[in-house]
C-alpha cells in the first residue's frame, strides 16, 4: 500500500509530540499511568472500544478478548488503550435498548474524537451494539475494525436443539396453550443460553454482525466464529495486529463504506434471512456513511436475492454454530457470486473477492446454493398504502405462507397493557382471520420502538390449535421472532400517522406480492377522524429521553437523531489541542 503515514502525521502526535506546555501535561499524565517515551513516540494509539459489562451476558467474554486485541496491537508496534462504552444489554435494558442506540453511537464518536486516538477496534455484537459502534466510528472517520462478539453455543434441553429467542416464543405458546408444564419451561430456561456470546439464531445480533462482515468492516469471516471457539481469540489478536497497519495505510471508513459495499451489505442481509431490525440499522448506518439508502432500495435488492442461510427462525433446523461449521459467511458470499461487487475494499486491505476466493461450502443444506435456496426472494418485504404511507416491513420467510394476501377486521390496542388483556381474555370475540393491532409503540410512542411487534398469539386461538395470524404495529420485533407480523408502520400512531385513526372492526387488506397495506376506510372518513384526534402528551420532559423525543427520526429513516446524520450540517471539527 502506498502513501503510508509518517509518525509525525499520527493524530496522537498532536497530543504528545510538541515541545510545549500542553503536550508536557499530556506526557506527564501518560507517565502517571506507566507510559514512557517508547509508548507515545511514533506508535499509533489504538482504542479498544469495549461494550463489556457485568450486566451484558452476550459480551461477558469481551474483557478477556480485549486482552487478545491488545496483544495484537503491541505485536504490530501500536499502543493499545481500552475504553469502556455503554454495553447495550438487549435482554436487561428497559424500556428497550433501541432507546439507547443513538446515545451509544454519540458516545463512541465523541470518545474517539476527544482522545489521542489513531484507530479503533470495536468490540460488540449484542443487537444494538453493532450499529451503535459502527455509526459512531463512521461519523468520527478514523480507521476501525469491528470485532464481532460471536454467537453462543447451540441451546439444548431434553435432547432438543434450542435456538435463542425463537424457541422461547415457541415454548411460551405451548405453555399458554397448556401443552407443556412448569418443569419443561424451567428446563428450557436453563438450557437455552449455555455459554457467553450473542443469540445463536439468525436474530438481530447475528444479522448485524454478518452485515458488518459483508460490508468489509470485520476481518473476513469473523462474524461466524462462535464466541467460545479458540479461533475467536485468535481473531481478536489478528484485529489488534491489523488495525495498526490500517492506521499507517490511512484506510479510513469512507474507503470501505461505499455505495457498492453498502449494496453488498444489504444483499448479504437478505441472503441470511435477516432480522427485520436490520432494515432500520442498515438505513441508519448507510446514512452515517453518506450513502443514501431507503426502504425501496432494500425491497428491490430483497426481490432479487434469495435466502441461502438455512438458519432459524427462517430455517427450521440449523443455528449459527452449524453455519460456522458449514463455512460461515465467506462460503455464503461465495455462493452469492456476482450478486456481490467483489472489487470493494475491506478492512483486511484486500478486496472482498480476494477474501472469499478460497471459501468452501461444507454443507449445502445449511448454506444453500443459488440453485436451491431456502426462499426464492429476500426475507423481507416493504409494504405501503393508506395505513403506512412511509412504509412498513414484514418477514414473509418466517410466517405461514397462507397470509401472503389477507383481509380481516382489526382489533386495536392502544397500549401493551391493553393488548395483554385482549390476548389473555379467552372470551374476547375473535377469529384467526382478525388482524391484531398494537399502536403507540413506535420510536416516540414506545418510547424507543420496543420489540413488541411479535404480538403473542391470543390464548383462545392457541388452544384451538392456531399458531399464526396477522398482527400489525408501529413497533419492532426481535430478530429471533417469527409470524405474520407487520412492523415499523410509519409514520407511527403517536405522532398522528394513519395507524392512530383506525378503529376496531375496520378491515385491513395486506397483499405481500403487490407490497400493499391498506385499511378499508375512505379518505373523507380518515380526514374526519384526523380532525377529532388529539396528540398524546410527550413521553419525556427532561433528561436523555427529552433529547430522544425531540430528535429521533421515523423508522423509514433509520431512527437516527436528525442532528447526527451526514445531511444535517458540516462535519464536527477536530478538537483544538493547545
Ligand atoms: Fe444479546 Fe440476543 S440478547 S444477542
- Is there a single domain that holds both residue 177 and residue 295? no
**Confidence at residue 571, expressed as pLDDT on a 0 to 100 scale:** 84
Q: What is the pLDDT of residues 431-471, one digit of tens each?
A: 999 999 999 999 999 999 999 999 999 999 999 999 999 99
**Confidence at residue 256, expressed as pLDDT on a 0 to 100 scale:** 98
First to last CA, the chain: 33
Distance (Å, whole) CA 300 – CA 226: 32
- Is there a single domain that holds both residue 26 and residue 53? no
Residue 411: which CATH number? 3.50.30.80
Domain count, the chain: 4
- Is there a single domain that holds both residue 218 and residue 341? yes
- DSSP, collapsed to helix, strand or coil, labels residue 131 as helix
- Is there a single domain that holds both residue 266 and residue 129? yes
Distance (Å, whole) CA 541 – CA 309: 45
- Is there a single domain that holds both residue 433 and residue 349? no
- Is there a single domain that holds both residue 126 and residue 272? yes
**Confidence at residue 2, expressed as pLDDT on a 0 to 100 scale:** 57
Mean pLDDT computed over 411-420: 96
Distances (CA, A) of 560 to 99, 281, 553, 554: 10, 9, 6, 8
**Confidence at residue 481, expressed as pLDDT on a 0 to 100 scale:** 81
* CA 386 to chain CA centroid, nearest Å: 28
Name the residue of 59, 148, 199 to mutate for ligand 1: max ligand atoms within 8 A of Cβ.
Answer: 199
Q: Which residues pair with 79 in a beta bridge?
A: 45
Ligand 1 centre to CA of 58 (Å) is 6
Distance (Å, whole) CA 148 – CA 219: 9
Q: Is residue 68 part of a domain?
A: yes
Name the residue of 164, 209, 227, 275 to mutate for ligand 1: max ligand atoms within 8 A of Cβ.
Answer: 164
- Is there a single domain that holds both residue 430 and residue 524? yes
- Is there a single domain that holds both residue 287 and residue 148? yes
DSSP character string of 319-388: -HHHHHHTTHHHHHHHHHGGGS-TT-B-TTSSBHHHHHTT---S-TTTB--TTS-SBSS-S-EEEEETTE
- Is there a single domain that holds both residue 310 and residue 325? yes
- Is there a single domain that holds both residue 298 and residue 333? yes
Q: What is the pLDDT of residues 216-249, one digit of tens each?
A: 999 999 999 999 999 999 999 999 999 999 999 9
Distance (Å, whole) CA 293 – CA 518: 25
Q: Is residue 269 part of a domain?
A: yes
Q: What is the pLDDT of residues 179-212, one digit of tens each?
A: 999 999 999 999 999 999 999 999 999 999 999 9
Cα torsion 68, 69, 71, 76: sign: positive
- Contacts (Cβ under 8 Å, ≥6 apart) of 316: 310
Mean pLDDT computed over 549-573: 93
The boundaries of the domain holding residue 426 are 381-532
Question: Counting Cβ atoms within 10 Å, is residue 126 exposed (0-12), middle (13-18) or buried (19+)?
Answer: buried
Q: Is residue 366 part of a domain?
A: no
Q: Is residue 93 part of a domain?
A: yes
**Confidence at residue 254, expressed as pLDDT on a 0 to 100 scale:** 97
CB 458 within 8 A of CB 483: no
Q: Is residue 374 part of a domain?
A: no
- Is there a single domain that holds both residue 94 and residue 168? no
Mean pLDDT computed over 108-116: 97
Instruction: Determine the Cα angle at 37 with ends 31 and 43, to 5°.
Output: 110
Q: Is residue 554 part of a domain?
A: no
Model confidence at 578, in pLDDT bands (50, 70, 90)? Answer: low
Residue 380 has pLDDT above 80, yes or no: yes
**Confidence at residue 297, expressed as pLDDT on a 0 to 100 scale:** 96
Residue 294: which CATH number? 3.40.50.2300
Place of cell 390464548: 459
Name the residue of 93, 127, 277 to mutate for ligand 1: max ligand atoms within 8 A of Cβ.
Answer: 127
Domain end, chosen from 356, 389, 404, is at: 356
Place of cell 461444507: 362
Mean pLDDT, rounded, of the chain = 95
Mean pLDDT computed over 78-93: 95
Q: Is residue 563 part of a domain?
A: no
Least confident of 255-269, 377-391, 409-423, 487-501: 377-391
pTM attached to this predicted model: 0.95
- DSSP, collapsed to helix, strand or coil, labels residue 105 as helix
- Is there a single domain that holds both residue 134 and residue 266? yes
**Confidence at residue 379, expressed as pLDDT on a 0 to 100 scale:** 80
Q: What residues are in contact with ligand 1 under a 6 Å CB criterion?
A: 58, 90-91, 126-127, 164, 198-199, 203, 205
Place of cell 474517539: 112
Q: Is residue 200 part of a domain?
A: yes
Q: What is the pLDDT of residues 310-341, one digit of tens each?
A: 999 888 899 999 999 999 999 999 999 999 99
Distance (Å, whole) CA 76 – CA 66: 15
Mean pLDDT computed over 338-352: 98
Distances (CA, A) of 559 to 66, 183, 197, 390: 30, 41, 26, 13
**Confidence at residue 373, expressed as pLDDT on a 0 to 100 scale:** 96
**Confidence at residue 42, expressed as pLDDT on a 0 to 100 scale:** 93
Residue 403 has pLDDT above 70, yes or no: yes
**Atom 2 in ligand 1: which residue has the minimum CA distance?**
199
Distance (Å, whole) CA 166 – CA 480: 5
Q: What is the pLDDT of residues 1-48, one digit of tens each?
A: 557 999 999 999 999 999 999 999 999 999 999 999 999 899 999 999
Distances (CA, A) of 414 to 421, 439, 441, 556: 12, 5, 9, 22
Amino acid at each position: 500500500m502506498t502513501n503510508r503515514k509518517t509518525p509525525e502525521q499520527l493524530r496522537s502526535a498532536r497530543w504528545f509530540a510538541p515541545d510545549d506546555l500542553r503536550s508536557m501535561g499530556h506526557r506527564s499524565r501518560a507517565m502517571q499511568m506507566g507510559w514512557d517515551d517508547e509508548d507515545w513516540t511514533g506508535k499509533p494509539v489504538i482504542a479498544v472500544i469495549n461494550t463489556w459489562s457485568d450486566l451484558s451476558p452476550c459480551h461477558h467474554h469481551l474483557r478477556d478478548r480485549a486482552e487478545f486485541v491488545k496483544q495484537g496491537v503491541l505485536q504490530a508496534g501500536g499502543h493499545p488503550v481500552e475504553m469502556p462504552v455503554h454495553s447495550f444489554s438487549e435482554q436487561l435494558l428497559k424500556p428497550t435498548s433501541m432507546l439507547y442506540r443513538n446515545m451509544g453511537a454519540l458516545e463512541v464518536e465523541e470518545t474517539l474524537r476527544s482522545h489521542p486516538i489513531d484507530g479503533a477496534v470495536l468490540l460488540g455484537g449484542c443487537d444494538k451494539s453493532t450499529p451503535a459502534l459502527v455509526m459512531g466510528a463512521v461519523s468520527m472517520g478514523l480507521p476501525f475494525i469491528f470485532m464481532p462478539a460471536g454467537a453462543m453455543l447451540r441451546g439444548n434441553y431434553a435432547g432438543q436443539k434450542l435456538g435463542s429467542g425463537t424457541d422461547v416464543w415457541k415454548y411460551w405458546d405451548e405453555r399458554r396453550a397448556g401443552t407443556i408444564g412448569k418443569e419443561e419451561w424451567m428446563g428450557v430456561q436453563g438450557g437455552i443460553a449455555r455459554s457467553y456470546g450473542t443469540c445463536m439464531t439468525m436474530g438481530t445480533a447475528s444479522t448485524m454482525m454478518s452485515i458488518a462482515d459483508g460490508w468489509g468492516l470485520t476481518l473476513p469471516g469473523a462474524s461466524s466464529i462462535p464466541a467460545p471457539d479458540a479461533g475467536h481469540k485468535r481473531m481478536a489478536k489478528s484485529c489488534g495486529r491489523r488495525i495498526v497497519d490500517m492506521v499507517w495505510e490511512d484506510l479510513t471508513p469512507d474507503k470501505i463504506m461505499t455505495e457498492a459495499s453498502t449494496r453488498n451489505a444489504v444483499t448479504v442481509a437478505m441472503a441470511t434471512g435477516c432480522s427485520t431490525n436490520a432494515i432500520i440499522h442498515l438505513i441508519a448506518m448507510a446514512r452515517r456513511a453518506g450513502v443514501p439508502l431507503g426502504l425501496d432500495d432494500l425491497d428491490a435488492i430483497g426481490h432479487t436475492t434469495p435466502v441461502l442461510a438455512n438458519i432459524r427462525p427462517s430455517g427450521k433446523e440449523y443455528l449459527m454454530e452449524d453455519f460456522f461449521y458449514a463455512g460461515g459467511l465467506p462460503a455464503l458470499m461465495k455462493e452469492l457470486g456476482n450478486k456481490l461487487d467483489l472489487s470493494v475494499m475491506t478492512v483486511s486491505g484486500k478486496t472482498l473477492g480476494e477474501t472469499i476466493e478460497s471459501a468452501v461450502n461444507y454443507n449445502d443444506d445449511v448454506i444453500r446454493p443459488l440453485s436451491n435456496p431456502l426462499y426464492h426472494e429476500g426475507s423481507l418485504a416493504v409494504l405501503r398504502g393508506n395505513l403506512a404511507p412511509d412504509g412498513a416491513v414484514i418477514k414473509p420467510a418466517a410466517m405461514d405462507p397462507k397470509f401472503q394476501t389477507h383481509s380481516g377486521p382489526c382489533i386495536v390496542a392502544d397500549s401493551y397493557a391493553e393488548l395483554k388483556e385482549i390476548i389473555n381474555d379467552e372470551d374476547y370475540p375473535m377469529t384467526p382471520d382478525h388482524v391484531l393491532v398494537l399502536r403507540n409503540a413506535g420510536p416516540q410512542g414506545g418510547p424507543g420502538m420496543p420489540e413488541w411487534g411479535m404480538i403473542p398469539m391470543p390464548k383462545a386461538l392457541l388452544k384451538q390449535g392456531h399458531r399464526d395470524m396477522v398482527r400489525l404495529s408501529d413497533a419492532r420485533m426481535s430478530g429471533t421472532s417469527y409470524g405474520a407480523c407487520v412492523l415499523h408502520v410509519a409514520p407511527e400512531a403517536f405522532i398522528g400517522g394513519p395507524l392512530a385513526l383506525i378503529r376496531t372492526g375496520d378491515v385491513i387488506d395486506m397483499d405481500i406480492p403487490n407490497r400493499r397495506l391498506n385499511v378499508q376506510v375512505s379518505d373523507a372518513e380518515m380526514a374526519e377522524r384526523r380532525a377529532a384526534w388529539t396528540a398524546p402528551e410527550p413521553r419525556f420532559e427532561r433528561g436523555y429521553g427529552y433529547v430522544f423525543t425531540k430528535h429521533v427520526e421515523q423508522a423509514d429513516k433509520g431512527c437516527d437523531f436528525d442532528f447526527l446524520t451526514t445531511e444535517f450540517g458540516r462535519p464536527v471539527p477536530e478538537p483544538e489541542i493547545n
